[in-house]
Amino acid sequence: MEELILDIGRWLVSGLQGLGLSAAWADLVLLLVQWGCIVGIVTANVIVLIWLERKVSGFIQQRLGPNRLGPYGVFQTVADAMKLMTKEDIIPSGADRTLFVLAPMLFIIVAVMLYVVLPMGRDMAIVDLNVGLFYFISVGSLSTICLLMAGWGSHNKWSLLGAMRSVAQMVSYEIPLAFSLLGVVMIVGSLNLGDIVAAQQRVWFVLLQPVAFVVFFVAATAELNRGPFDMPEAEQELTAGAFTEYTGMRWALFFLAEYTNLVAVSALASTLFLGGWQGPLLPSWLWIIVKTYLVMLVFMWLRWTFPRIRMDHLMSLSWKVLIPVSLANIVVTGAGLELFRAMGW
Amino acid sequence: MSDQATIGIFLLLTLAFPAGAMAAAWLFRPAPIQSAEKRTPYECGVDTRGPSWMRFRVNYFLYALVFLAFDVETIFLYPWAVRFQALGLFAFVEMLVFIAILALGLWYAWKEGALQWY
């Protein structure tokens, strides 16, 4: 079971080489298959996730949630997706068409690109990049620009206000996010996600870096624009923030990208702090799925439990609490490592 | 293939994903019924008044400036964190100085009211 997916890959490459393809071309086909798997699984998974989110919210609010289409309403999101496919495509008259059209496309491209470096099992990262963590943070922060493009391109006051808020928020929470991961990097001495997982053989980093984990979790919730930090698209006051003018497939791409980001960030959280794909009995690729889903359930729990945070509180939480705390965490981690070395542990 | 080449090819493949999705939607969706009314910007029941691309409070830009400073610090801190264990006590003292300067900057921005949202 452990080697199942790797074996399929090896079988594919050797089979193609048996057909007379050169090694480079066989690798290229393997990459194409991997890409297809990621995009397919991401899309199918988002449909499951939206259903799950609605069921979880229903459970928390003592409602039933979707329950008409299929057992437990599982086909509800499939129907929603088909509805979105058949919607008219409306571009508002004053819009900056280029920005308006490009924004959702770039958003989903950025979201899918995050999966290149994630180790989805033992030796199962598509690229075992030596600066993997840095790549993830830098590519992930590009989504800010897509939201600003959407808000500016729509030529709508709600959109622009939502976009400005989300830029202010994401920019502020990016710093505690990046700082909180420094503690982990200091302990491991590598930015390679595979090395970081391997370093958690004996003890998970959530135990060594609990403060960093909490800071990371809060900052990640804000980066994902999820409740209680969903000020940028607070539907009661801003309609839908930057997405107000979007219809049909363009809007669906935004939604898809948001949930794709959620999965990627949850997988990163379990890779960095919860031991990644390591675990007893089950194969490694199953462990990362289990952990990612548990992290995502916590994100959903948070979203439906806490009321939305006011904008000024939101900003001061980042700048006046999380950033000083994460800086202090770096100093304490450094001092701890020095102390350990001085003691000869 | 080198890592960078793999990521580049992956990016090229990923470009096809939104394009494919939009093409699929183009197959299914009806031709939009064009009317000036439908294409007006969304507003709560009335027409939008005044320019939509308007000025914003300076607040947002103050945050952006402070962010810029901190983001550059992040780039400096990452290589340092990777080599931390290899460099020994020297790295730790260096880091203390660096973070003290960073904290000083944060304190200054705080004192000057750049972190005040109003």
pLDDT tens readout for residues A9-56: 778 878 877 887 777 787 888 888 888 888 888 888 888 898 988 888
Top-confidence residue, A8 or A273: A273
Q: Which of B18, B52, B77 sits opposite A104 (nearest CB)?
A: B18
- Binary contact (A253, B38; C-beta < 8 A): no
Tokens of A183: 């503690």
pLDDT of residue B89: 80
Average model confidence (pLDDT) across chain A:
85
Q: Is the ipTM here above 0.90?
A: no
Q: Which of A31, A239, A249 sits opposite B6 (nearest CB)?
A: A31
Residue to mutate among B9, B11, B14, with most A CBs inside 10 A, is: B14
d(CA B87, CA B81): 10
Mean pLDDT of the B16-41 span: 82
Cα angle A104, A215, A232; round to 5:
35
Tokens of A188: 């491991």
- Binary contact (A324, B83; C-beta < 8 A): no
d(CA A220, CA B58): 26
pLDDT of residue B32: 73
d(CA A261, CA B16): 19
- Binary contact (A156, B70; C-beta < 8 A): no
Cα angle B89, A129, A208; round to 5:
45
If phi over 0 gives left and psi between -120 and 50 gives alpha, with beta otherwise, what is residue A123?
Answer: left
pLDDT of residue A304: 87
pLDDT of residue A345: 64
Task: Tell me the pTM.
Answer: 0.88
d(CA B21, CA A154): 21
- Binary contact (A172, B67; C-beta < 8 A): yes
Which pLDDT band holds residue A320 (cuts at 50, 70, 90)? confident
Phi first, then psi: what are they for A271, rounded to 5°?
Answer: -70, -45
Residues in chain A: 345
DSSP for A27-52 reads HHHHHHHHHHHHHHHHHHHHHHHHHH
A72-113 pLDDT, tens digit each: 888 888 888 888 888 888 888 878 888 888 899 999 999 999
Nearest CA in chain B to A112: B14
d(CA A53, CA A56): 5
Nearest CA in chain B to A91: B39
The answer to whether the Cα torsion of A119, A122, A128, A132 is positive or negative is positive
- Judged by a CB distance cut-off of 8 A, whether residue A158 touches chain B is yes
pLDDT of residue A196: 86
- Residues of chain B with C-beta less than 8 angstroms from the C-beta of A90: 32, 38-39
- Residues of chain A with C-beta less than 8 angstroms from the C-beta of B32: 88-90
Mean pLDDT of the B99-111 span: 87
* pLDDT at position B81 over 80: yes
Residue to mutate among A29, A110, A157, with most B CBs inside 10 A, is: A157
d(CA A235, CA A40): 30
- Judged by a CB distance cut-off of 8 A, whether residue B101 touches chain A is no
Domains and CATH numbers, chain B: 3-111 (1.20.58.1610)
How far is CA A237 from its chain centroid? 26
Mean pLDDT of the A198-208 span: 84
d(CA B69, CA B108): 13
